[in-house]
Structure 1
Amino acid sequence: MVLWFFIFSCLLSSSLFFCSILRAELITSLPGQPSNITFKQYSGYIVTDAHHGRALFYYFVEAEAQNPLSRPLTFWLNGGPGCSSLGYGAFMEHGPFQPGRDGNLVKNKYSWNLESNMLYVESPVGVGFSYSNTSSDHFNSNDTKTAQDNLRFFLEWFKKFPQYRNSDLYLAGESYAGHYIPQLADLMLKYNKKKNIRAFKLKGIALGNPLLDIDISIDAAEFLWSHGAISDDLLEMKRSICNDTRAILEYINGNVSKECALVNDATGEEMGDDIDSSDLLLPICLSENAKQQMVFFRNKLVTTHKKIDKRAAIGDPCLTERIYMYLRRPEVQKAMHANTTHLPRTWDFCSGSTLKYQMQNLASNIMPTLSEILKHHIPILLFSGDQDTKIPVTQTRTIANMLARELKLIAIERHGPWYDGDQIAGWSQSFGGSISGKNVTLLTFASVRGGAHEVPFTSPSQALTLFGTFLKGYPPPRANAIA
């Protein structure tokens, strides 16, 4: 019966690609995968618009547990806009494997599938292996369309994985996912108000170094100065002539003033070329391939004032190069059921050439959306690596405090250190309110000591502890990790 329904659906569809990507795909084994892997992996495409021939690529990793259905489901998006959750989230940060120096995969002992079923999606279309047969989908992408597409993705994905429809659902992401995730959550909460539907069991949202309010989030002058990266004179120039927000907004509007160009040039000269704004601490990769990519990114990003999320952070300095090579291998794409329609482009971390996002969306203030989510008693975790200059820890902490004051949340825990094992992992504060006579944590801010823009990449153990305690409904541990 299922087969005939599939064939009938294909005959009705005007797009041949609809047929080739309709099925959920089990990954039997990834090339170079370690032996004795006990959890299942799936990947493939979900059609979000059959008429346009639009589909999002996903990679789903079941929890490494005796009964995966006993664990929650976490949906992860990276930012950009236009960067891959497969390359960054799954293979660089907290997926089960990372490419080793010999080309084989190495098991990640800090994989988030130790705590949750993990669903990585390359969104919007035009990112990674996701695509559309309608060219305008690539050139008119924006926050609203992305949120709507992600909602449709979920509704269709649950048809293929109905066993997870009743799972507790968490939405998580970093950087520009500070736009994607709250807007998707808002649509889910509105969808839940409809009659005769199966509601999403949305239980929480986690955002790492998120872009939330461009007037606050990206203002890095004080942070750079306090770390000795810029001079007193340049700090005063950023304060009085052109701050980071103005520079980005002028770039978005295609009208960079002489004042901002002057400050941007001075910033590049003082900070130097061979530094990654994602992480002030760690070195760059010195392989020849990585050097060539670094030159490309550097030229591009100096022009755009280091647009958010277009370069990799550096934990293992050359890991991104190995991921880049691994995901371009034909046998890897075949194993993952990716690129089944032979896209006219190669996979890349960020899709600047194939995706033209409406960059004016960067100026949208997401704080009102977060406020509405909190009013629905959906807990939110804001975590921030303290070595990131793209979206500094100081700015995310400011936003968390503003949200707490606006909603009149009380301090459930005072600001203080949280622990990963016996080591201080960062500092945190939790806010909440009384629900049914009980104090409940609703908003948590946590810094990650030594963490970068992609916290799970540079601080994997701390990130796993933070993630695991959040899923359990706890604030970050104030002593040894919660058993």
Structure 2
Amino acid sequence: MSTLKWVLALHLLISLFDLQRISVCCAASYEPTPQQKLDRVGNLPGQNFNISFAHYSGYVTVNEESGRALFYWFFEATEDPSSKPLLLWLNGGRYLKYPFLLFITWPGCSSIAYGEAEEIGPLHIKEDGKTLYLNPYSWNQVANILFLDSPVGVGFSYSNTSSDLLNNGDIRTAQDSLEFLLKWFERFPQYKGRDFFITGESYAGHYVPQLSQAIVRYNAAINGKAINLKGYMVGNALTDDYHDHLGVFEFMWSAGMISDQTYNMLNDLCDYQSFIHTSASCDKILEIANDELGNIDPYSIFTPPCTNNVTVPNKLLKRLHVGHVYQRYDPCTEKHSAVYFNLPEVQNALHVIKEKAPSIWSTCSDQVNENWKDSPRSVLDIYSELIKSGLRIWIFSGDTDAVIPVTSTRYSVDALKLHTISPWHAWYDDGQVGGWTQEYEGLTFASVRGAGHEVPLHRPKQSLTLVKSFLAGKSLPTLKQVSDS
């Protein structure tokens, strides 16, 4: 090549580099929209530390006619948010029909209360219910995180039409969540086209694949990509009523928590029952099983439950060493959220509309779960559809959860009859077994050792390793990989 051609080629490369640098610069200095400025959250009550990331909260109206509006809280990534994907987190529900009743998971709980304040979010709440601390394992280290209180009636989400709260169900929840996202991207246009992932747990085992399906079908209908959905991941997820029940009963029996007689009656009376609408005979044997279970936390069978009258011995509290700060596993995190988010100054800082706020904010809504209208017995058909679409799909399971245990999830995954790509093996975190995993054609399953229903609450470091691998589309680390590093 002649000298002139070398010079021209070099000049072209420099020009392309400059254009790329300008593009990155401009993306990083994007001018916020007027509504973004209004939604920007400043220093929160009880926050006695500085943070390196911006966060926003507010409402998006998803139905103008009835006045349905969903509340969100959005955290940009800790570093270089313009280069990070966008991740939506959805929480499902808790058992609410009977005190401490296992086996039933209901919709109607706040993603702000659980996902943000005690699991993957950056701002967690101390025992006094008034002071915040920074979560060292927050997922906004690897992504921009969007928390959504869905459906209406959950958390701070509201409707001007009271009957809306009596007519929630899976179908409308997916439709409203899709409408929320389309409008949210208009409010935050700098995230349009960004790689987008959906995650969640528990009853979000319905929400997440249903919303993913709605997005895929919407994109196909407009012959474009209004939302650049790349994949989804769910944990301890309600998936298929038959397999979920089968796995729950087997898990409890094998762990020695229920009698042989109760185990057999559960299988006889509750087979093929809906988790949302059970029969009277099934309910009766569930109550017997609950009595046999005793006063433990079925969401995490080896950690102490939260009680008002019992002091938990320090030796039972899981301690995590983070720099010079010691954190302990706290079984009462839900109660701390109930204190914090009821503070008027907190609601004001989060732009909660005073006239629309519930008289008493609660982590879960009895009204929503008791009036749930539609819930399919299985979402495995959605998995089959979305696997064919090429989405990245992961399922994870904390292996000390008795509500939707690892046995239930494995039965559901097996029912998909997928071809195995990488057989069952242990994955590692800092040289220790983090859990076990198997990769299939179109789906990855991973268990998390020692984690309960809320995996990021019980195993925060391992859950961060999990989401890093998921977002990167890479296998979870093996012992060989750990040794090589």
Question: TM-score, normalised to structure 1's length?
Answer: 0.82
Match in the other structure for 2:260: 232
In 1: Cα distance, 2:112 partner to 2:78 partner: 19
SS in 1 for 2:89: strand
**Alpha-carbon displacement from aligned partner over 1:303-349 (angstroms, at most 9, x marks no partner):** xxxxxxxxxxx941122211110111111111111244343432111
Match in the other structure for 1:300: none
Counterpart of 2:63, as a letter, is D
In 2: Cα distance, 1:262 partner to 1:182 partner: 32
Aligned CA distance change for structure 1 residues 323 and 244 (closer, same or farther; 3 Å): farther
Aligned CA distance change for structure 1 residues 55 and 29 (closer, same or farther; 3 Å): same
Matches within 5 A, 1:110-121: 110-121=137-148
Q: CA deviation at 1:135?
A: 1.3
Match in the other structure for 1:146: 173
**Alpha-carbon displacement from aligned partner over 1:237-257 (angstroms, at most 9, x marks no partner):** 323x323653x56x716x513
Matches within 5 A, 1:429-440: 429-432=438-441
8 Å contact from structure 1 (residues 427, 446) kept in 2: yes
Aligned CA distance change for structure 1 residues 51 and 356 (closer, same or farther; 3 Å): farther
Aligned CA distance change for structure 1 residues 426 and 359 (closer, same or farther; 3 Å): farther
Counterpart of 2:264, as a letter, is E
Matches within 5 A, 1:371-410: 371-403=384-416, 405=417, 409-410=418-419
8 Å contact from structure 2 (residues 170, 374) kept in 1: no
Aligned CA distance change for structure 1 residues 428 and 344 (closer, same or farther; 3 Å): closer
Q: CA deviation at 1:389?
A: 1.0
SS in 1 for 2:476: coil
8 Å contact from structure 2 (residues 337, 363) kept in 1: no
Match in the other structure for 1:200: 227
1:263 pairs with one of 285, 289, 302? 285
8 Å contact from structure 2 (residues 166, 367) kept in 1: no
Q: CA deviation at 1:352?
A: 0.9
Aligned CA distance change for structure 1 residues 371 and 290 (closer, same or farther; 3 Å): farther
Q: CA deviation at 1:218?
A: 3.1
**Alpha-carbon displacement from aligned partner over 1:340-398 (angstroms, at most 9, x marks no partner):** 4343432111111356543551x431000111111011011100011111111011112
Residue 335 (str. 1) matches residue 341 (str. 2)? no
4+ long deviations beyond 4 Å: 20-24, 288-291, 480-483
Q: CA deviation at 1:22?
A: 9.5
8 Å contact from structure 2 (residues 250, 407) kept in 1: no
1:50 pairs with one of 64, 78, 82? 64
In 1: Cα distance, 2:162 partner to 2:310 partner: 31
8 Å contact from structure 1 (residues 138, 356) kept in 2: no
Q: CA deviation at 1:290?
A: 11
Counterpart of 1:415, as a letter, is W
Aligned CA distance change for structure 1 residues 289 and 62 (closer, same or farther; 3 Å): farther
Match in the other structure for 2:296: 275
Match in the other structure for 1:88: 114
Q: CA deviation at 1:186?
A: 0.8
In 1: Cα distance, 2:288 partner to 2:404 partner: 20
Match in the other structure for 2:426: 417
Q: CA deviation at 1:142?
A: 0.9
Matches within 5 A, 1:83-482: 83-102=109-128, 103-195=130-222, 198-219=225-246, 220-239=248-267, 241-243=268-270, 245-246=272-273, 252=277, 255-257=279-281, 260-272=282-294, 274-287=295-308, 315-353=329-367, 356-361=370-375, 363-403=376-416, 405=417, 409-432=418-441, 442-479=442-479
In 2: Cα distance, 1:282 partner to 1:203 partner: 35
In 1: Cα distance, 2:408 partner to 2:339 partner: 35
The number of aligned residues is 420
Counterpart of 1:400, as a letter, is V
In 1: Cα distance, 2:311 partner to 2:244 partner: 29
**Alpha-carbon displacement from aligned partner over 1:190-210 (angstroms, at most 9, x marks no partner):** 111134754321111100011
In 2: Cα distance, 1:227 partner to 1:347 partner: 36
Q: CA deviation at 1:284?
A: 1.6
Aligned CA distance change for structure 1 residues 38 and 89 (closer, same or farther; 3 Å): same
In 2: Cα distance, 1:446 partner to 1:271 partner: 27
User: What is the root-mean-square deviation of aligned Cα atoms in Å?
Assistant: 2.4
In 2: Cα distance, 1:22 partner to 1:413 partner: 44
SS in 2 for 1:132: coil
Higher deviation after alignment, 374-383 or 352-361: 352-361
8 Å contact from structure 1 (residues 252, 360) kept in 2: no
Aligned CA distance change for structure 1 residues 290 and 90 (closer, same or farther; 3 Å): farther
In 2: Cα distance, 1:262 partner to 1:123 partner: 31
Aligned CA distance change for structure 1 residues 358 and 101 (closer, same or farther; 3 Å): closer
Q: CA deviation at 1:136?
A: 1.8
SS in 1 for 2:256: coil
SS in 2 for 1:27: coil
SS in 1 for 2:366: coil
In 1: Cα distance, 2:244 partner to 2:126 partner: 35
Q: CA deviation at 1:225?
A: 1.3
SS in 1 for 2:280: coil
Counterpart of 1:133, as a letter, is N
Q: CA deviation at 1:410?
A: 3.2
Q: CA deviation at 1:69?
A: 1.4
Question: TM-score, normalised to structure 2's length?
Answer: 0.82
Aligned CA distance change for structure 1 residues 265 and 137 (closer, same or farther; 3 Å): closer
In 1: Cα distance, 2:393 partner to 2:461 partner: 21
Aligned CA distance change for structure 1 residues 34 and 401 (closer, same or farther; 3 Å): farther
8 Å contact from structure 1 (residues 46, 57) kept in 2: yes
Aligned CA distance change for structure 1 residues 85 and 458 (closer, same or farther; 3 Å): same
Aligned CA distance change for structure 1 residues 195 and 99 (closer, same or farther; 3 Å): closer
In 1: Cα distance, 2:305 partner to 2:391 partner: 39
Structure 1 unpaired stretches of 5+: 1-19, 292-313, 433-441
